[in-house]
Structure 1
Amino acid sequence: MSEDNGSKPPSPELPPKPGKRLTLGHIADQLGISTATVSLALRDSPLVAHETREKVKQTAQEIGYIYNRSAASLRTSRSQIVGVAVHDILNPYFAEVFSALEDVLEQQGQMIFICNHRDDTKRQRAFVNTLLQHRADGLILCPSVGTSAEEINRLVDQGIPVTLVARELPGVWAPCVRGDDMCGTYLATKHLIEQGHKDIAMIGGRRESSTGRLRNEGWRKALIEAGLDPGIQIDLPELMTQADGRAAVPTILEADPRPTAIVGFNDLVAFGMMTTLRRAGIEPGPDIAITGYDDIDGADARTPALTTVANQPEKIGRLAALTLLRQIAGDRVPNKPIVIEPELRIRESSPPPGVRIGPKLDAD
């Protein structure tokens, strides 16, 4: 039996007492400058000399100061936050658009919140509400299918700068930066017709979006001008991804007559079709011509190299960012589309109709 001498077991170590929150004043006192100068320096304001800005930042890092954007936004009415929402950030085309606009916005000290709404209006609305709670300076939006003009106009009416990108919405009080989608597929289809093709399918595109609708209209326009009836051609809507392209191949192969050429809504759909056609013993290019859209990285390195439409993602992203920044600065920007001209890039995948349009057979 142990002896109880009345002593208590040692208590566990208590956490240290929290210290006072660091403020701009701590940095100002240490450097002998005003808190206003510290605040401007932390926001990279050109009103403060470069050497002073660097000293302020170094001191803030050394003492562990974290810049309070919320407090700063109350003082300046600017949060330095911009929201960017698109339907498919995994699409390399939108990754290039985002990279370009990010470069421009970051040069102006803007922090970017990004949303991949996947054409889900609920996800898009939740993101926009979060931006409003953070007092965001503006929004760059590729609107989800199902977005109404009234939703966007309510934001504009509240004084929130909005710029649409890639997709246009009729009746919206905001500018839109996009490619000339009708022109792009018109050029691709006309090229196939000039190669001698008459059975030309259109695969993909959400027709409720301006992009899907206009690209389909460009395909139809080229066919009609050539005296070909779009109504008897294969026209498969809603397909957007490589998986969608792969899934479309059985319908294409079962068609009678089978198309000798395909206009893909985008490069991803075209890539998916090319892979699956080859597995079916049909060689993309010689057996069935294919075009894509967007000219994403690697389109020219495929076998065969993909004929496609360059949609200028860097230019579109940069102009979208600059257009939004003009609105944030108080400029009145016309609420009309800024349309960027596309470029057809002809490569190996779109030759004239070949003698082989069916599966290859082994020689006896």
Structure 2
Amino acid sequence: MPDNRMRARAERAREHRNGRRKRRLTLANLAERLGVSTATISLALRDSPLVAQATRERVKEAATEAGYIYNRSAAALRTARSNVVGVAVHDILNPYFASIFRALEDALGENDQIVFICNHQDDIDRQRSFVQSLLQHRADGVVLCPSVGTQADEINRLVEAGLPVALICRDVEGARAPVVRGDDRKGTRMAVRHLIAMGHRRIAFLGGRRQTSTGRDRLEGWRDALAEAGVDPRSQLDVPELMTREDGFAMAPILMQRAPRPSAVMCFNDMIARGLVEGLRRHGLEAGRDIAVVGYDDALDAATSTPSLTTVNSGGPQIGERAAEVILSLIAARDEETAPAMERTIIAPHLVARESTAHACPADGDGIENEEE
């Protein structure tokens, strides 16, 4: 028998003879002693903000007194943890998603999670390939702004396979995964009511992929506000599928050729709005003076552009922070083998009125007023 095995056996025999043999202290022992779950113990020993500071200190103190040493390598083997979370969105160049990603990455980084990102560009095959790679690399979870074409059964199969999944910004009906998103219908309704209160009656709607919940909800908010004011949405210009700054720029001459020309434009996002403002200026019109332009998302340059952009703030950083909390909770629930919470978090929007909107000229509306929401 090798010398090291002989020495180990002799040591165990001496401990037994001397009555000094001790039971190995485990995570479960600590949890039982403190009256908390093993997941709470594990998160506390990793300094996770999901556990209250007082509880973290109590757990660490008890572990120190008991001589418990947290073994990260063993924990990874037990839980198959990789400390990797995938994040997939459709347009990482959009400053709004950059704000979400920054908050999400900061929060996950505080919990020792590395972020892998995918810009799926609303290509369902790119999204599927990314998720498959995450599964192959045993990622801890995925935060998904689902691509056009994503079906509920695809998400549900991932959940059933044990991969924690959280959805952001877009809903997928029937998906058994928590969702963190803004109230898009309410936000657009607020913005259009603002335009109506300023006397506008010809209000175009530009953009949005109508196969997504976000595209449908923002369109419905526009329709809601027009109908409330007695304006038939079918009589207004509605152009779907626009998403980018280039799309907005290309719409400027089309709007100018329309008779009668809209006096105001509700854009699906800030990128379309900024492109439209630039295109209008190229043709001698100024947003806020000659035509009102409203964006959505309150992206980074909305306040500093010229003119500053009236827009709807839909809480990008809050969505990122909350999504991080949700995915970490799902990972902890998987480790503990408990049922995860299937909650929906809706971030309330608010309107930010700036220079790109102004009261309509007398010929553009009848000056009706409608209280903002």
Q: TM-score range, shorter-chain basis?
A: 0.7 to 0.9
Q: Which residue of 2 aligns with 1:241?
A: 244
Mapped to 1, the partners of 2:46 and 2:269 lie a distance apart of 42
Alignment of 1:103-142 (within 5 A): 103-142=106-145
Check if 1:344 corresponds to 2:351.
Answer: yes
Q: Which residue of 2 aligns with 1:254?
A: 257
Mapped to 2, the partners of 1:76 and 1:168 lie a distance apart of 29
The one-letter code of the counterpart of 2:328 is: L
RMSD after superposition: 2.3
- Given the superposition, is the C-alpha separation of residues 333 and 344 from structure 1 closer, same or farther in structure 2, using an over 3 Å criterion? farther
Cα distance, 1:160 vs. partner? 1.1
Q: Which residue of 1 aligns with 2:226?
A: 223
Mapped to 2, the partners of 1:163 and 1:238 lie a distance apart of 25
Q: How big is each residue's C-alpha offset from its partner over 1:250-276, in whole Å with a ceiling of 9 and x where there is no partner? A: 221121111000001111100000001
Check if 1:287 corresponds to 2:287.
Answer: no
Cα distance, 1:45 vs. partner? 4.2
**Is residue 103–residue 321 contact of structure 2 (8 Å, CA) maintained in 1?**
yes
Mapped to 1, the partners of 2:220 and 2:281 lie a distance apart of 29
SS at match of 2:102: helix
Mapped to 1, the partners of 2:46 and 2:274 lie a distance apart of 47
Mapped to 1, the partners of 2:171 and 2:185 lie a distance apart of 13
1:318 to 305, 317, 321: 321
Cα distance, 1:176 vs. partner? 0.5
**Is residue 330–residue 341 contact of structure 2 (8 Å, CA) maintained in 1?**
no
Mapped to 2, the partners of 1:310 and 1:175 lie a distance apart of 22
Q: Name whichever structure is richer in helix by fraction.
A: 2
1:168 to 156, 166, 171: 171
Provide structure 2 residue ranges, at least 5 long, that are not aligned to the other structure: 1-44, 48-58, 62-71, 365-373
**Is residue 319–residue 347 contact of structure 2 (8 Å, CA) maintained in 1?**
yes
Cα distance, 1:72 vs. partner? 7.3
- Given the superposition, is the C-alpha separation of residues 356 and 285 from structure 1 closer, same or farther in structure 2, using an over 3 Å criterion? farther
- Given the superposition, is the C-alpha separation of residues 355 and 226 from structure 1 closer, same or farther in structure 2, using an over 3 Å criterion? closer
* Range with greater deviation from structure 2 (78-87 or 297-306): 297-306
Cα distance, 1:334 vs. partner? 3.9
Cα distance, 1:159 vs. partner? 1.5
1:97 to 79, 96, 100: 100
Q: How big is each residue's C-alpha offset from its partner over 1:7-48, in whole Å with a ceiling of 9 and x where there is no partner? A: xxxxxxxxxxxxxxxxxxxxxxxxxxxxxxxxxxxxx84699
Mapped to 1, the partners of 2:272 and 2:139 lie a distance apart of 35
Provide structure 1 residue ranges, at least 5 long, that are not aligned to the other structure: 1-43, 50-67, 358-364
- Given the superposition, is the C-alpha separation of residues 321 and 241 from structure 1 closer, same or farther in structure 2, using an over 3 Å criterion? same
What percentage of residue pairs aligned between the two structures are identical?
Answer: 54
Q: Which residue of 1 aligns with 2:53?
A: none
The one-letter code of the counterpart of 1:89 is: I
SS at match of 2:317: helix
Mapped to 1, the partners of 2:139 and 2:306 lie a distance apart of 45
Mapped to 2, the partners of 1:76 and 1:304 lie a distance apart of 53
**Is residue 286–residue 353 contact of structure 1 (8 Å, CA) maintained in 2?**
no
Check if 1:213 corresponds to 2:216.
Answer: yes
The one-letter code of the counterpart of 2:157 is: R
Q: How big is each residue's C-alpha offset from its partner over 1:326-354, in whole Å with a ceiling of 9 and x where there is no partner? A: 11111544434211000100111110113
Q: TM (normalized to structure 1)? A: 0.78
Mapped to 1, the partners of 2:293 and 2:356 lie a distance apart of 6
- Given the superposition, is the C-alpha separation of residues 48 and 130 from structure 1 closer, same or farther in structure 2, using an over 3 Å criterion? farther
Mapped to 2, the partners of 1:232 and 1:356 lie a distance apart of 17
Mapped to 2, the partners of 1:162 and 1:75 lie a distance apart of 21
Count of residues in Structure 1 that have an aligned counterpart in Structure 2:
298
SS at match of 1:197: coil
Q: TM (normalized to structure 2)? A: 0.76
The one-letter code of the counterpart of 1:149 is: A
Mapped to 2, the partners of 1:329 and 1:251 lie a distance apart of 52
SS at match of 1:299: coil
SS at match of 2:309: coil
